[in-house]
Amino acid sequence: MARKGPLARLVVASLALAFSSSRLLCFHACRTPSTCSTELTGGHRAVEPIPKSPKAWRKALPHDAVPVRQFLHLHRYLQIWRVHWIGPENLDRAGLRVTGMDTYAIVASVLLQVITGFYGSVPEPDDTDERLKYPNLHRLMYEGQMIFASVSVVCSTYTMVMFLLCKIYSVMALGMYKDVSYDLFQAATGRFRLRAFWSLIIAMHSFLVSFAMNLFTRIKGNRGLCFFFVGMMGIIPVVYDWQIIYQIAEKYVYN
């Protein structure tokens, strides 16, 4: 039998790798190898529909495999130890952290611009206006809008400046090959970043309440009062969903 050359061996190995990769991808996509073989050979077979409800997706998630995956990822502690004590800093993961701080600063700056425009567009109620059915309530709503908008401006400004400063000095430390200084800076400013995060949450909540109160000042009378209560009721599920995201992050990300 003639001996195969290096080119022939390379072609055979490439074909075997491509065939095995397609089988593996089909196995993960179709869940069963028989379905994959049917699709690869051109046959027709009924495929299970994709679950659309969140409960179906949660049931399909392999929760039993979470401890196994965590055990298989134990080598990350060796990488963390090596980066912390030996170095150098993993610039890819450090870049992800800096990008996260940059995102917080951008969100706070956009919110600050919106609140500033909203703050200047709120009209002061005119007591001589005959359309005002509840003049005292209108005055109270106006003052409440100013208070909540002011709180939102201060909190969003604090968040924007704090995360911008943390990003600037983190990038500066990494750019000057001061990996130890970068690690120490991240550890020392952790509580300030946490305050800036909750400051952003307070700013968003204050803006939503101020916007709901603005509905009453724009639409006067009983309709405006109804729109105010509808707006406040609409804020409740939004804040509730945000709280769920916090809890999920506390359970899976920060735990």
Average pLDDT for 201-220: 88
For the whole model, what pTM was predicted? 0.68
40 pLDDT higher than 50? no
Q: Give per-residue pLDDT as tens, 71-99.
A: 787 777 777 777 778 777 888 888 888 99
What is d(CA 83, CA 77) in angstroms, rounded to the nearest whole number? 10
Q: Name which residue leads in pLDDT, 245 or 20.
A: 245
* Of 45-49, 164-168, 181-185, the least confident: 45-49
- Amino acid 140: pLDDT: 86
- Amino acid 135: pLDDT: 74
- Amino acid 137: pLDDT: 82
Which residues, at least 6 apart from 71, have a Cβ–Cβ distance to it below 8 Å? none
* Of 41-45, 176-180, 197-201, the least confident: 41-45
Question: What is the per-residue DSSP string for 47-86?
Answer: -PPPP-SHHHHHHHS-GGGHHHHHHHTTHHHHHHHHHHHT
| Residue 111 near residue 156, CB atoms below 8 Å | yes
Q: Give per-residue pLDDT as tens, 101-130.
A: 999 999 999 999 998 888 777 777 776 666
Burial class (CB in 10 A: 0-12, 13-18, 19+), 14: exposed
